[in-house]
Amino acid sequence: MEFAALDVLREGLPGNSRPPRKVVVVGAGIAGLTTALLLKEAGHEVVVLEGQNRVGGRILTHRGFAGDLYGEFGAMRFPEQHPLVQHLIKDRFALATKPFPMYDEDTFIYLQGKGVRRKDFRADSFTFDLTPAEADKPPHELLRHTVQPLVDIMENEEPDKAWHRLLDDYDKYTLLGYLKERGLGDGALSMLGPLFNLEGRYHFSLVEWFSHYYEDVFGNLVYIEKGADTLPRAFEPYLMDDIRMGAQVHAIDQDDTGVRVHYRAGRRTQVVTADECVVTVPFASLRHMEISGLDPDKWYAIRNTYYGRAHKLFMQFSERWWETSYGITHGLTVTDLAIRNIVYPPAGQDTRYKRGVMIASYCWEQDSMPYTPLAGEESVAQALEDLVKIHPEARDTFEFGVYKDWALDWFACGIGPLFRAFEMSETFYDDVIRPVGRVWFANDACDRRHRRWAEGALKAAVKNAYAIHEGIRDELPWKD
């Protein structure tokens, strides 16, 4: 069935004659907050248990810079084509936004020890072992040509039918497996990998990567002017008295009469009883939690939902030399150095002063792993050494750096879930999203089209709140 999540988020849960329920929501990230707000406004009693002393989950704004500078360790830009999150930002909470463009021809491509501006990049200026057919196309055309069979499906069939055709025909592929089957050689892969940030995705689902590529989710982005954390904090006036901070849930019991959620606060264990429990924390963290009543297939899905690694390393400089010396105000420099990606964020700058912040290293998956063993100060020092190879001005204007490795975050267990081959179209996905008894699951793993994005977490939240409110346990509005 088609489920109008935006209508529910905009208008609230529909009226019905069922008695109100008491619902415990585990986690105060964007999914937990949205679940709780929908249910509370529909007349249900909600209790939110949050292990940290803040709301927002992986929406995390770092404000430890000078003046009004800030850096987004988590979500920092929101696609305009994601209607649920845009509704919350612009309509529900009226948060001011500005464009967050990701492409600037004046940024750099730094490979094999030399850097050029994006607008000046030519493959024959570097050492890539390309076939004549590969060398004949600019990199973006080569990638497009390689995935053209998938593009044809999307452009020549009705959208819903096309989407399910992709799942049926291509979910068996990893991105790397498909590209090699289509004839790309190692030289082309070594070029396209850093240029389009594919190397961290090569061993994951082709369909998940392609859906983002085809929808161009990075093509029309906005940021929240006062910081992304103002989005979860906008829920506080409605929910703060219903949230218990510092409550680390370690067990959930359920039977025919209700649920009992056990949590630790300090050295004391406490219990909340309710009719239903919605778990919105990452599946990886559930490996440390006792939940009664879950069947083996559900546990298999929980164990095997993969959470990706990623880090961001911000640096503060005494002046924004990337603007004054290079004319760069936004965008991304890609490299084959350990720092991999440099982001020049329009968000978080304090234009009253010359000082500025940038993301000196933004890495995913195996690119992030070399930083994990480093102490914080050493990671900053190593990143600075790479950065000055491209921007010598960084050395004399550097003030300090801050580093966030999401794989080391106890509450996040990674930056977000990634599909692997066969996981989007088979029963694995059904087992990920389905509730068991009185325990429901709503996080950014529980949506097929927008995993890792706030949009996916919001869609899962709306679906679960709707099902609980309506008393639906069969024929759930899950599929997309």
144 and 290 belong to one structural domain: no
Q: Are 189 and 270 in the same domain?
A: no
What share of the chain has pLDDT > 90, as a percent? 93
Residue 94: predicted pLDDT? 98
Given pLDDT bands bounded at 50, 70 and 90, which one contains residue 2?
low
Q: What is the pLDDT of residue 3?
A: 82
DSSP letters along 134-154, please? HHTS-HHHHHHHHTHHHHHHH
CATH at 316: 3.90.660.10
Q: At which of 146, 181, 215 does a domain end?
A: 215
CATH of the domain at 253: 3.50.50.60
415 in any annotated domain: no
| 439 and 380, same domain (yes or no) | no
Distance CA 449, CA 446 (A): 9
Q: State residue 16's pLDDT score.
A: 84
The pLDDT assigned to 357 comes to 98
**Residue type at 54?**
R
Look up the CATH number of the domain holding residue 141.
1.10.405.10
Asked if residues 224 and 95 have their Cβ atoms less than 8 Å apart, the reply is yes
Collapsed DSSP state (helix, strand, coil) of residue 464: helix
In this structure, the answer to whether residues 343 and 377 fall within a common structural domain is yes
CB 230 within 8 A of CB 95: yes
Considering the domain architecture, whether residues 299 and 354 belong to the same structural domain is answered as: no
Q: Is 1's pLDDT higher than 80?
A: no
Q: What is the pTM of this model?
A: 0.96
Domain total of the chain: 3
Domain extent, residue 197, equals 124-215
Q: Please say if the pLDDT value at position 448 is more than 60.
A: yes
Are 398 and 322 found together in one domain?
Answer: yes
- In this structure, the answer to whether residues 398 and 312 fall within a common structural domain is yes
Is 173 in the same domain as 151? yes
Residues 71 and 49 in one domain: no
Cα angle 16, 19, 20 (rounded to 5 degrees) comes to 95
**436 and 302 both lie in a single domain:** yes
Same domain, yes or no: 261 and 343:
no
Token output for 109: 């491509």
Tokens of 356: 């500025």
- Residue in this structure with the two tokens 């491509």, named with its chain if needed: 109
Q: How do residues 191-229 score in pLDDT, each as one tens digit? A: 999 999 999 999 999 999 999 999 998 889 999 999 999
Per the listing, tokens 């954390």 go with: 229
Distance between CA 347 and CA 138 in Å, rounded?
A: 31
DSSP 55-97: SBTT--EE--SSTT--EESS---EETT-HHHHIIIIIIS---E
Q: Which residues are CB-neighbours of 254 under 8 A, at least 6 positions away?
A: 260, 277, 291, 292, 293, 437, 438, 439
Residue at 136 is within a domain: yes
- Do residues 402 and 316 share a domain? yes
pLDDT of residue 479: 66
Amino acid at 204: F
The residue-averaged pLDDT of 8-29 equals 95
3-state secondary structure of 266: coil
Q: Under a CB-based contact definition with an 8 Å cutoff, are residues 278 and 464 in contact?
A: yes
Residue 414 lies in a domain: no
- Evaluate whether residue 118 is within a structural domain: no
- What would the mean pLDDT of 352-378 be, rounded to a whole number? 94
* Whether pLDDT at 189 is above 70: yes
For 225-275, how does the pLDDT look when each residue is reduced to its tens digit (9 = 90+)? Answer: 999 999 999 999 999 999 999 999 999 999 999 999 999 999 899 999 999
- Within a 10 A sphere around the Cβ of 122, how many other Cβ atoms? 9
Interatomic CA distance for residues 417 and 429, integer angstroms: 12
Assign 282 to helix, strand or coil: coil
Q: What is the pLDDT of residues 449-465, one digit of tens each?
A: 888 899 999 999 999 99
Angle at CA of residue 195, ends 193 and 198, nearest 5°: 35
Mean model confidence pLDDT for the chain: 95
Instruction: For residue 290, tell me if it sits in a domain.
Output: yes
Residue 413 resides in a domain: no
What angle is formed at CA 211 by the lines to CA 207 and CA 216, rounded to 5 degrees?
150
Note whether residue 114 is domain-resident.
no
Q: What is the mean pLDDT of residues 409-419?
A: 93
Please state the separation of Cα 403 from the chain's center in Å: 18
Within-domain flag for 263:
yes
